[in-house]
Amino acid sequence: MADLDALLAAAIDAMGKSRPTYSQFPVGAAILTEDGRIFSGGNIEVASYPEGWCAETTALSHYVMGQGDTITDICVIAERLPRCTPCGGCRQRLAEFAPPDARLHLCADGAIVKTLTMAEIFPLGFDGDVLTG
């Protein structure tokens, strides 16, 4: 599928632009929306470690600022960890914006190797609706 090829390429490109100054663990993430747009980001580390941004958080910030449409797919890739999954905090962040059926693609060696839904990777996430009611 062309959209997934472009999504993977965006995640790989973002990983190459990441700034893993302290961990030396580059990660890239990319988000695909229903209207075909892709928002990507790499992890960014600062001296007040671990106060940096994960790749998924960076991609989400581009998505929010770009007023992205419904998220359909998310791709995550790390240079040194096959099938790198989002950390717990990023799972919550992604769950705030992506529907439960959004697909999360885990990568290794420049290819998608496993696909899960957000509901599968984060089945009991905190529901922000309780805060607004």
Count how many Cα atoms sit within 13 Å of the Cα of residue 121 in the half-sphere of its side chain: 28
- Side chain identity at residue 85, one-letter code: T
Displacement of CA 3 from its chain's centroid (Å):
16
| Catalytic residue status for 56 | yes
Looking at residue 8, the DSSP 8-state letter turns out to be: H
Q: DSSP readout, 86-104?
A: PPHHHHHHHHHHS-TT-EE
Catalytic residue among 56, 79, 96, 120: 56
Phi-psi region of 110 (alpha: psi -120 to 50; beta: other; left: phi over 0): left
Catalytic residue list: 56
